[in-house]
Amino acid sequence: MAMKIRLARGGSKKRPSYRIVAADSRMPRDGRFIEKLGTYNPLLAKDSEERVKMNMERVQYWLDQGAQPTDRVARFLEAAGAIEKKERANLLKGEPGKKAKARVEEKAAKAAAAAEAAAAPAEEAPAEEAPA
């Protein structure tokens, strides 16, 4: 039986709250679980102690039994120091699209042209004023 430590959603529409549960990976997200390990309330401030609560003793037990945490739960466990931080590769999601790249290049070209235009008259102006 493949075990997961994952989030099960609760709360009403647009007011989510989650239970951190140990569940069989074949069960539905909000369906049957074996044990509730904690809670997560994303509506609270990030520095609030009430945002993520976990029974670390039971979480460690399930990790020792071979349960695999999902990505979000793994981040909570890394922050709590229960597991070591692993390197993540966000390959293409954080990269801007073609149009955004074109806008950045266009903006950089305009800024360079403006800087060049500002530098050219500044150099010529003292030369013109000196003879007069």
Residue 77 is predicted with a pLDDT of 92
SS3 119: helix
Compute the average pLDDT of residues 84-95.
76
Percentages (nearest 5) of helix, strand, coil residues in the chain: 40, 25, 40
Query: What confidence tier does 84 reach under pLDDT thresholds 50, 70, 90?
Result: confident
Residue 87 is predicted with a pLDDT of 82
- 29-42 tens-digit pLDDT: 888 999 999 999 99
Query: What confidence tier does 89 reach under pLDDT thresholds 50, 70, 90?
Result: confident
SS3 70: coil
Phi, psi of 79 (to 5 degrees): -65, -35
Residue 122 is predicted with a pLDDT of 60
Phi, psi of 120 (to 5 degrees): -65, -50
Query: What confidence tier does 123 reach under pLDDT thresholds 50, 70, 90?
Result: low
